Structures are given as C-alpha cells and as structure tokens.
A and B are shown apart, each in its own frame.
Chain A
Amino acid sequence: MTGGSTSSPRRAARAPYVFLTPFFVTFLVFGLYPIIRSIVLSFFITYGPRSQTFVGLGNFAFMLGDPDFWIAVRNTAVFAAASLLIQLPLSLALALALNRRRLAGRGTLRLAYFSPRLVGMVFVGVIFRLLFEGRGLLTTVSHALFGTDLNSSMLDSPSFVMPALVLTSLWLYVGFNMIYFLAALQAVDETLYEAALVDGANAWQRFLHVTLPGIKHVTVFVVVLSTIGSFQLFELPYLLLGNGPGAGKAGLTVVMYLYQSGFISGDLGFASAIGWTLVAAVMVLALVQMRLSGTLRKEA
C-alpha cells in the first residue's frame, strides 16, 4: 500500500469484511443455525413445524427397526454400486475413445454425449416414464429384443424398477462424467507416452502405467462425487415412479424415505434423524474411498 491519503488504506482494510458480509449473514442464518437445530430436532418427534416431544434416541431406534428404512438403504446402495461399476468405466472408455487428436467431429460428439445433462432430473423422470409406458418406445424395443410384455408399463414390475433407474441415470451421467475424464486425459504429459513407447511398452502397459496414474486425481474426484450423488438420489425415482417409491417399493431411496416422513407425514424430527444417518454414511464412504486411493499411491 502506498498510502497517499489516510482514508484509502483504511477503506481497503475494511472492504473484504464488507464484501463477505452477505456470506457470513446467510451462513449464520441458513447454515450454522439449521445444522444445530437439526441435531436438536433429531431427538424430538414433531408434528409439523410447531409442536414437538422429546424422545431421545427414539427416532434412530424407530428408523433402525423400520423395514422401509432398510429397503431404502438397500436400494440406494445397489444404485450407488451400479453407478460406480457400470457408469464410470463407460465414461472412462468413452473419454479414451474420444481422446484422439485427429478425430473428425470430436466436438460434436462430446456435445452429444453431454447433452442429457442439460435436461433437469425432474424432466428426465417425466420423459422416461413415458418411454417405459406400455407400448412406449423402450417397451417396444425391449419387446422386440427380449420378448417382454408390450402392453403394460415396464415400471409396473418391481424387478425392473432398479434397472430402469440405473439405465436412466446412465443416459444422464455417462457423458457428463466423460467430460471430467477427457479433461484429465488431455492434461497427461505427452512425453510420458513417448518415453513408454521407446521403452517398448504395449498399449495396455501404457494405459496401466501412464494413463491411469495421470488421471488418478480426477478419478478419485469423480468417484467421490458420484457416490455422494447416488446417496442423494431422490428426484429421478420420485418423478419416474409417479411421486412414490414404485412397484414393491423397489425405487424407495433414503432421501425419498426422508422426504416422505418429514414432509408428507410432517415429522421434521424424524426427517432430521434420517438426514444425519445419511450424512454419517456418506462421510464414512467418502473417507474410505479417499483412504483407499491414498494407500494405492503409496504402494505404487
């Protein structure tokens, strides 16, 4: 600071606090207070926002004894596993295929793969609901290929609800995650490939020893992000299955369970207890994933 006038440096010292005031205010009111309040709420049974009874750990006990909760946990876990094991490898494969310098129309293809992400989750639900309807496009294709029933909605069969969710989210996210992998691949140092070629490494060895280590950070980022996203799954099944858990509750997710108990049945205390259970589960998973990737690095 040159300090020509006395007021300018003082103003400069005060300015950042003024500029960040909106953050601090909204953080206190809509961040810190709700977090504390939701811890408190999780020990109460509430009826709408105005009446409450202390139940200690009763909410958690009830939740763990509720078969619906376990259905929701199982469905959510299956969906998360499918996302990681089917969706991400597909995204990576797509990125590898696209990552060639002289590929005609690469930009257009990238745009096509990414385009589903522009459609909001809500609207995806509405569209695919009709695609899976009796005599709908996907039902017709499935009838032609596998001889499944043509005239009733595929979503009416409990065993198809989860595959339908996974398929829809593949459409929605494979291209989106591909963007991350592609950006990472383009940042891998070219000279490493040349060095590997000189050393006589074949394509698979180059992938294993140059590409994979090069994109590790982004991979961990995408894995953690899509795990968190999977555990927050709500809107897609809710809309796809017509504002409910679907046939045989096969599309009931943890957040849908939270929404139904908190905002349909009006028990905000119970909803908070479910919310904190979800947070704990997601944090443990994310930490395990990051730890696993950390140990892998040490071995390498």
Chain B
Amino acid sequence: MARLPRMVLYAALLVFGALTLVPLAWLLVAAFKSNEVFFSHPFFPPPEHLTAGNFRRLFGELDFLRAMANSLFVTGATVLVQLFFASLGGFALAKYDFRGKRAAMVLMLATMMIPPQVLLAPMYELVTHMRLTDSYLGLIVPGMVSVFGMFLYRQAMMQIPDEMLQAGRIDGCSEFGLYWHLALPVSRPITGAFCLLSFMGTWNSFLWPQIVLQSDSRFTLPIALNQMVGLYRQDYGVLMAGTLLAVLPVVVLFFLLQREFLAGLTAGAVKG
C-alpha cells in the first residue's frame, strides 16, 4: 500500500483507540473529583480539586465494603462451583463413550438456545417455593452447571491421549483421580479462559440478583450501585468512585488471563 494512505489508516486506528479509552479515562478521573467541580470541568479539574473524599464516604457512611465483600463471595463461590462441574462434565464428554452420549449432547446444545428471560418467571416462583429468595444459594445454584463451559473443556480434554488414561488406570488410579490429577491440570489454559468468563458473568450480573435479593445487607455490587444511583443521585463523584471499584477487579483479572481468554473466546467460533 502507498505510504500516505497507510499513515492515514494508522492515524484513524489511533484516534479510534483513543476515543474508546476516553470514557474509561474519564471514569478514573471522575472517581476523584469533588462534587463542586464535577460538571464545571467536564474532564480534568484543577489538581487541587482531586480528592480521595469520595472513597472515604463510600467506605464510611455508605458501607460499600460490604457490597464488595458480598460480590467477592458470590463470584468466588460461583466460579469455583462452575469450574468444577464444567470440567468434570467436559471430561465425561471428551474421554468416555457411553450410551445416550449423543442424546445428552444434543440436549445440552438445546439448553444453550433457551433465552434466559423465558425462565425468569418460573425460576422466581421455584426459588420462592424452595425458600431461596434473598439468599446466595438462590443466586448460585440455578447456574451451577455451565453447558458452555462443559463444551469448552470437552474441546480441550479431547487432546489427552487415551493411552495416558489407560496407564493411570493400570496404576490403580480411580476415574475421578484421572480427572483430578491428569485431565484438569492439563487443561489449564481453558481453566484460565473459563475462569475469566465465569467471573465476568457473575460479577456483572444484574437482573437475576435484582429479582432474588431483598435485603440491603446482601446486595452485590451492581444491585448496591443501582440503589445508590437512586438514593444519592447528586453524589456524582461518589457514584463514580463506586463504579471504578466495581470495574477494577475484572480489569485486573483480564490482564492476568488475557492470552488464554482471547484464544478461548474465538476457538469455537472460528472452527465452527
């Protein structure tokens, strides 16, 4: 390609990239802006107006730490449970031939097509009857087994040679032992990718927790933040400080796992 169009293209890419980052940079600054200058300076206020006061209020009177702890607990528990069941199920689908396997897999694919909204009303009814409303079990249990995760693991675990499993069996390893000591450790990249996906899904989840949770003390971050938007509408800096803290863990995790993640994300799509 000629030199000039190439430069133009590159400049366009850079400008677009910068524009993409503007709202995030704005969030970073806004979290430290005092309310007096929040709108008088749409982006950068004079440096003396930057303050950690928003965070102090957030952790002081607003008890934001509690919502963070709730979110960490719910997300941590969900990720662990989902990882375990997805990898165990994926192992069964990858390395065993058994009667009804085809039917089971068709069933699983079918469940992925059900839009969650249609299940919302009966699930709420069910959770009410099971007395799981306003509890974390009500959040975690219905989504314990991720079909998407099982297929992700199946794909990865199919690479494990059968001879390796046979050797393990001869050495007296149990079937669960084969999964735990062999298949799971070998699939570490997929574990990284699925961990991040599961974390993002749970951490950012709004609709179902909004329906299930009732007491303020149990609210996860998205629910607590949404409530704050209603109650402290004018406390812009505080809201942005809360949002920044809510966004940060996902960003950190992403940078730790990004290579596995981007590979895992597109693996299915391109091959399919």
- Identify the A interface with B (CB < 8 A): 1-2, 4, 8, 11-13, 15-20, 22-23, 26-27, 29-31, 33-35, 37-38, 41, 49, 94, 97-98, 103, 109, 111-116, 118-123, 126-131, 133-137, 139-140, 171, 175, 179-180, 183-184, 187, 217-218, 221-222, 228, 232, 234-235, 239, 242-243, 255, 258-259, 262-263, 268-269, 271-272, 275-276, 278-279, 282
In the bound complex, how far is the Cα of B114 from the Cα of A183, in angstroms?
27
Instruction: Name 11 interchain pairs, CB-CB below 8 A, sorted by A.
Output: A19-B89, A22-B145, A35-B122, A97-B9, A116-B20, A135-B39, A262-B121, A272-B118, A272-B122, A278-B115, A279-B114
8 residue pairs, one from A and one from B, having the closest CB atoms:
A120-B204, A275-B118, A15-B175, A19-B92, A183-B266, A34-B122, A268-B121, A135-B39
Q: How many whole Å from A29's CB to the nearest CB in chain B?
A: 8
- Identify the B interface with A (CB < 8 A): 9-10, 12-14, 16-18, 20-24, 26-27, 30, 39-40, 42-43, 85, 88-89, 91-93, 96, 98, 101, 104, 107-108, 111, 114-126, 128-129, 141-145, 147, 150, 166, 169-170, 174-176, 179, 200, 203-204, 206-207, 211, 222, 225-226, 229-230, 236, 239-240, 243, 246-247, 250-251, 254, 258, 262, 265-266, 269-270, 272
Question: CB-CB < 8 A to B116: which residues of A?
Answer: 232
Question: CB-CB < 8 A to A113: which residues of B?
Answer: 16-17, 20
Given the interface pairs A137-B42, A232-B115, the reply to whether A271 lies near B121 with Cβ below 8 Å is yes
Is A121 within 8 A of B204, CB to CB?
yes
In the bound complex, how far is the Cα of B254 from the Cα of A90, in angstroms?
24
Out of B20, B30, B270, name the residue touching A218 (CB < 8 Å).
B270
In the bound complex, how far is the Cα of B130 from the Cα of A260, in angstroms?
24
Question: CB-CB < 8 A to A128: which residues of B?
Answer: 23
Is B246 within 8 A of A120, CB to CB?
yes
Q: How many whole Å from A263's CB to the nearest CB in chain B?
A: 6
Given the interface pairs A20-B92, A120-B203, A262-B121, the reply to whether A26 lies near B145 with Cβ below 8 Å is yes
Is B101 within 8 A of A16, CB to CB?
yes
Is A217 within 8 A of B272, CB to CB?
yes
Known: A19-B89, A134-B39. 18 other contacts (CB 8 A): A18-B175, A20-B93, A23-B150, A30-B119, A30-B123, A49-B128, A97-B13, A112-B17, A113-B16, A120-B203, A120-B247, A123-B247, A126-B225, A127-B243, A137-B43, A140-B42, A235-B206, A272-B121
Is B98 within 8 A of A179, CB to CB?
no
Question: CB-CB < 8 A to A232: which residues of B?
Answer: 115-117
Question: CB-CB < 8 A to B40: which residues of A?
Answer: 135
Is A35 within 8 A of B118, CB to CB?
yes
In the bound complex, how far is the Cα of B22 from the Cα of A128, in angstroms?
12
In the bound complex, how far is the Cα of B99 from the Cα of A251, in angstroms?
50
In the bound complex, how far is the Cα of B43 from the Cα of A73, in angstroms?
37
Given the interface pairs A19-B91, A123-B222, the reply to whether A133 lies near B39 with Cβ below 8 Å is yes
Is B20 within 8 A of A282, CB to CB?
no
Question: CB-CB < 8 A to B240: which residues of A?
Answer: 127, 130
Is A38 within 8 A of B204, CB to CB?
no
